[in-house]
Structure 1
């Protein structure tokens, strides 16, 4: 589990503000589920989704997301991983491949998290931020994600990554504005 507890460039829970928030969210938490719920709801509800709110700058590192209080789903998942790892909860990054529109091409990746719960094992949760038509929650053992798989070229990618995918980091770091990210959303081709 060590890779899922480690500090890194993008999951930088050693940054003072991230570490302080992680301690504050853990204060008086009654067990692992309460701690995970607090961290999840903070990121889901207090960090605005960059595209939903058309907010710049484009963030990637957990500390940037917290500083600017905004991030795309990918960046928000980096902050959630940082807050949970800082509190000793193994946390990874997961992705879905979704249609950008109602159906069909183009497709893009959507970023979310998986946490290792002592009484459940790996459990996915999605802190992208709720809005009409999107209602994610922390409801173990049932998953309550922002998006369902709707068609054959969409996928729940099964991996739990310790670090963000390079294609995700590249898309965020190459973009100066939220419009740039939206025009160049990362994707992975499907293997037949």
Structure 2
């Protein structure tokens, strides 16, 4: 059963352990991590490369919100090659554990001020509840990283893609290139040692209605 943890609590063994969703020991996850971090000469550089690969190699797709738990396993998301913020964060978190970096899943409610008309019509709101991100323990501190928006999507909305260097948080942009509001964080739901999928799906149904 996933458990929420205090945001500043030091890592435990649970933050390195593979789970049903964070299947860090799955051959697909291991092969992905080894490929994208090959040649990196430090832990920080390996994490930086992992973040960039999850950000750009997995296309952000907010229109597909699966209810099948199997679709949320890191290995399955890699096979699919796409996902919304939560599946992509599952891959980043599992990948970090495969590197031996303690990691957790984090969730926050955010408001998207540059939401597309298509997505607004589907969601009926510009509020994204339980937006997923990852938090990684690097050099004695937790660092938050959102791998959701790939570089191509960022270019379409006039913002630079997020970069994660392991020394500071990399969360969604507050403003676009013209200074307009972009993403606004409203409420943080803490960090978790595994994906609380049943809870997330219940919240999605409450806010957006039952799945079609």
Q: Which bracket does the TM-score occupy, shorter chain normalised?
A: 0.7 to 0.9
1:156 equivalent among 173, 188, 193: 188
- Counting matched residue pairs gives 171
For the 8 Å contact 1:55–1:70, the answer to whether it is kept is no
CA deviation map 1:73-115 (0-9, x unaligned): 000011111111011011111111123667x885511000000
CA deviation map 1:6-51 (0-9, x unaligned): 1011111222111111222332211111000111000000000112
Q: Matches of 2:107 and 2:163 in 1, distance apart?
A: 17
Q: CA RMSD in A?
A: 3.1
What TM-score results when the alignment is normalised by the length of structure 1? 0.75
Distance 1:169 1:76, change over 3 A: farther
For the 8 Å contact 2:138–2:166, the answer to whether it is kept is no
For the 8 Å contact 1:13–1:86, the answer to whether it is kept is yes
For the 8 Å contact 1:44–1:127, the answer to whether it is kept is yes
For residue 105 of structure 2, what is the aligned residue in structure 1?
93
Q: Matches of 1:97 and 1:8 in 2, distance apart?
A: 25
For residue 126 of structure 1, what is the aligned residue in structure 2?
146
Aligned positions of 1:24-43 closer than 5 A: 24-43=35-54
Distance 1:105 1:38, change over 3 A: closer
1:160 Cα deviation after fit: 2.4
